[in-house]
Structure 1
Amino acid sequence: MTTVAQVLQDKPQHAIHTIAPDETVLKAISLMADKGIGALVVTHEDKVVGILSERDYTRKIALMERTSFNTTVNEIMTAKVLTITRTATVEDCLELMTDKHLRHLPVVENERLIGLISIGDLVKAAMEDQKKLIDQLQQYISG
């Protein structure tokens, strides 16, 4: 089974986009829109302290009639962040993300953020694993 390390290696090298907890929500959603991403990892002194997603924005700003101009990231971020290490398997991550209704998982090593994987990254890796298995079974059968 493919590991998170392999998924990160296969991803195009993009910067991990982070934001500080004291920044405005406007700055956060502007960054997400500019980079075409759906979540930002919230960090303080290089440690993960939260995650801010489009879902957080929709539920905690738009629906609660707050303003993006004077609300800070730490007021609406998800503070209880589930993280994984590079040794986790794709299967384990998919199970965790499905059970907890997550779309993004920060990858942490020695308490430092080293990557971010999305549900799309994991589905792609799982499909590649299945294709390899099918190819191996076909070769075995044709023998």
Structure 2
Amino acid sequence: MAVFEKIEVAFMATVRQILDIKGHDVFAVHPDDTVFDALRLMDKKNIGAVVVKDGDDLAGVFTERHYARKVFLKGRSSPQTPIRDVMETKVIHVGPNETAEACLALMSRKKIRHLPVLHDGQVVGVISIGDLMRSIIAEHKFDIDQLVGYVRG
């Protein structure tokens, strides 16, 4: 969490700034991969979502929520079910210049926890609601520290 304290700006952090600190790693599976393949990757990387890419193109998103609702509760088999059958294809995404606050509002409104970041049609990262919260908290801490410094003179 301390890594987000590096964001020392008096204005709202952008997705680009968050990714520059967090990293631009994109963990992806192919639509023909199985749910089990996606879950294994999510476990290995300790993440709650993967993007689904067909070549360089974003085809969808698969999250823990998709697993719970579209696989487990439906009695489907993880090793047998292709991701294409259970992924979200209407992917909500943002660009690198979007603010953390705007992303948080979007995620809250759409009830999602992960946002792929696209630049020129390519996935350049993924941010989570946790990433945004850490960024916003770091910004508020910076603002408070500035005010305290001003008051103390």
* TM surpasses 0.5: yes
Counting matched residue pairs gives: 142
Gaps of 5+ in 1: none
Match of 1:107 among 117, 123, 134: 117
1:23 lines up with 2:60 in the alignment: no
| RMSD of equivalent CA atoms | 1.2
Distance 1:83 1:113 in 2: 9
Match of 1:75 among 75, 85, 90: 85
After superposing on structure 2, the runs of 4+ consecutive aligned residues of structure 1 that deviate more than 3 Å are none
Gaps of 5+ in 2: 1-11
TM-aligned CA deviation for residue 95 of structure 1: 0.5
1:4 lines up with 2:4 in the alignment: no
Deviations 1:89-138 (A, max 9, x none): 00000101111111110000010000011111110000011011111222
Percent of aligned pairs with the same amino acid: 42
TM-aligned CA deviation for residue 45 of structure 1: 2.0
Distance 2:51 2:83 in 1: 11
Residue range with higher mean Cα deviation, 42-51 or 84-93: 42-51
TM-aligned CA deviation for residue 15 of structure 1: 3.0
Correspondence 1:119-130 to 2 at 5 A: 119-130=129-140
TM-score by length of 2: 0.88
1:52 lines up with 2:62 in the alignment: yes
Deviations 1:8-41 (A, max 9, x none): 0111x46311011111111111111122111100
Distance 2:91 2:124 in 1: 15
TM-score by length of 1: 0.94
Greater RCO (Cα-Cα under 8 Å, separation 6 or more): 2
